[in-house]
Structure 1
Amino acid sequence: MAEWGERLAGVRGVLLDISGVLYDGDAGGGTPISGSVEAVARLKRSHLKVRFCTNESQKSRGKLVGRLRQLGFDICEEEVTAPAPAACQILKEQGLRPHLLIHDEVRSEFDQIDTSNPNCVVIGDAGEAFSYQNMNKAFQVLMELEKPVLISLGRGRYYKETSGLMLDVGGYMKALEYACGIKAEVVGKPSPEFFKSALRAIGVEAPQAR
């Protein structure tokens, strides 16, 4: 106990991953990892500030939080840092109009974004929408641009569901990078700016967080 007390000395905040840390997803909605509901509750009763960070790009924040609450977690949408809202902020700031290669369940996050006459591509974990036709359309959009911009909602290789390991967005992102000779801007883990935005949200400096 003393050792843990020393490790937590000066710590003011905690960043928690969600998928594979709090719960394992599946077609039925997922199941909590043993002890995770209680651990989150204990953290929230402590003096520590808590922020949830996720690369989830198959669900909107609202749907993700709704499912987590059904599983027993004490969590609200405003406590979650996710790549889709962060990408929307970038699109607005840079005047970008995306061609979206994303999962239908996350499209609502982009409702206020102009997608006419695209001048960039946003790619997320599109699941079954990762067909040849859809990948080729994203490729064509990028190749037609004088200065192609590819924004990826994460660059994970794979993730775990109760049914097994699932291929993530990173492989598809790399395919477009290679085909178009460009470098994607990653919005989400492991981008340092993603974690910095989560820390800013809870008013904690990096040395004060775990």
Structure 2
Amino acid sequence: MAKGPVGDWYKDARNTQGLLLDIFGVLYENGDEGPVVIPGSIEAVKKLKDAGIPVRFCTNNSTKTKAGLAKILLDLGFDVSESQLFPPPPAVSHVLKARNLRPYLIVMPDVLPQFADIAQTEPNCVVLGDAQTHFTYDNMNRAFQVLLSCPNPVLIAMGGGKYYQEAGEMKLDVGPFAKALEFASGIEAEIIGKPSKTFFLAALSDMGFSTDKVVMIGDDIISDVGGAQACGIRGVQVRTGKYRPRDEPHASVTPDGYVDNLLQAVDLFLAHR
């Protein structure tokens, strides 16, 4: 499958101050027996740290708390800290508190502690995460009823992806379930996660960098690459994770570059600094 790098995004590496990296499909993916490191990704992250390159890991993974996600990465051998991780649940929790929203949650059990201090009786909004087997008819129908019963209904989705890869198979992401509720209720979902501009800019704000000083590297050509480019951030597509040959070229998104994997991207980037 290796094709080698495409594009010259890395030639401006001296003027690039930091990187945004996706996690799932770039650092690791889930195999039949659990998380599996994508070859070269641990070395790539270490090289960036050794070179002093600021990194934020922007992910739509909403199956774990921030601490739970950090534990997975540390257990796999990645040298990362919680402060570098940008998953949707903490951002959603902040929004709910700021707007006094009481959510009806369709999320995985592991992420429920993120919302433990938020009132959930008489919900006035719906929050969808990577709920997988919890996207039952009863749960979706209850969410639909909540939206219809509220005078000012709010629908929040932790990401807008269509699908992801797990154990070699493509599986529905949260996006299609959000679209189903949009269709039924007539309410447009607020995306807190990729490809939301607000989500990308929050990561840049945390780094203190402008959009022209950062590169996003991900496996999702729409949410990672297209979302970043819509904010003025260069986007590079890796040929791992959910990448498929038909994505090259893509009908609606033209990445600033293609690379076989994260290690190839990091080596190109560091060689031109």
TM-score, structure 1 as length reference: 0.95
* 3-state DSSP of counterpart to 1:19: coil
Are 2:12 and 1:13 equivalent residues in the alignment?
no
Q: What is residue 67 of structure 1 aligned with on the other side? A: 72
* Identical aligned residues as a percent: 46
Conservation of the 8 A alpha-carbon contact between 1:12 and 1:47: no
Hey, what does 2:56 align to over in structure 1? 51
- Structure 1, residues 3-22: CA drift from partner, whole Å, max 9, x if none? 77632021111000000011
- 1:93 equivalent among 98, 102, 111: 98
* CA distance, structure 1, for counterparts of residue 31 and residue 159 of structure 2: 20
Unpaired segments of 5 or more residues in structure 1? none
Question: Is 1:193 the equivalent of 2:201?
Answer: no
Tell me the distance in 1 between the aligned counterparts of 2:211 and 2:167.
33
Q: Give runs of ≥4 in structure 1 deviating > 4 Å.
A: none
Residues of 1 paired with 2:183 and 2:147: CA distance?
12
Matched, 1:181 2:197: no
Partner SS, residue 15 of structure 2:
coil
Q: Does 1:117 align with 2:140?
A: no
What's the counterpart of residue 140 of structure 2?
A: 135
Q: How far apart, CA to CA, are the structure 2 residues paired with 1:74 and 1:52?
A: 12
1:175 & 1:77 partners in 2: Cα distance?
Answer: 33
Counterpart-to-counterpart distance in 1, 2:165 and 2:69: 16
Structure 1, 91-100 or 24-33: larger mean CA deviation: 24-33
The corresponding residue for 2:89 is 84
Secondary structure of the residue aligned to 2:193 is coil
Total equivalences in the alignment: 208
Give the secondary-structure state (helix, strand or coil) at the position aligned to 1:25: strand
Distance (whole Å) between structure 2 residues aligned to residue 27 and residue 203 of structure 1:
39
Runs of 5+ consecutive residues of structure 2 not aligned to the other structure: 1-7, 216-273
User: Which letter does structure 2 place at the counterpart of 1:194?
Assistant: F
Please report how far the alpha carbon of residue 78 of structure 1 lies from its aligned counterpart in structure 2 after TM superposition. Answer: 1.4
- Provide closer, same or farther for how the CA distance between residues 82 and 4 of structure 1 changes in structure 2, counting only shifts above 3 A: closer
Deviations 1:72-107 (A, max 9, x none): 100111110111100111111111111111111111
Provide the TM-score with structure 2 as the length reference: 0.74
The more displaced of 198-207 and 24-33 is: 24-33
Secondary structure in 2 aligned to 1:91? helix
Are 1:39 and 2:44 an aligned pair?
yes
| RMSD (CA atoms) | 1.3
Contact kept? 1:53, 1:81, Cα under 8 Å: yes
CA contact (8 A) 1:29 1:67 kept: no
Query: 2:193, 2:118 → 1: CA distance?
Result: 19
Of 110-119 and 126-135, the range deviating more from structure 2 = 110-119
Separation (CA, whole Å) in 2 of partners of 1:4 and 1:43? 17
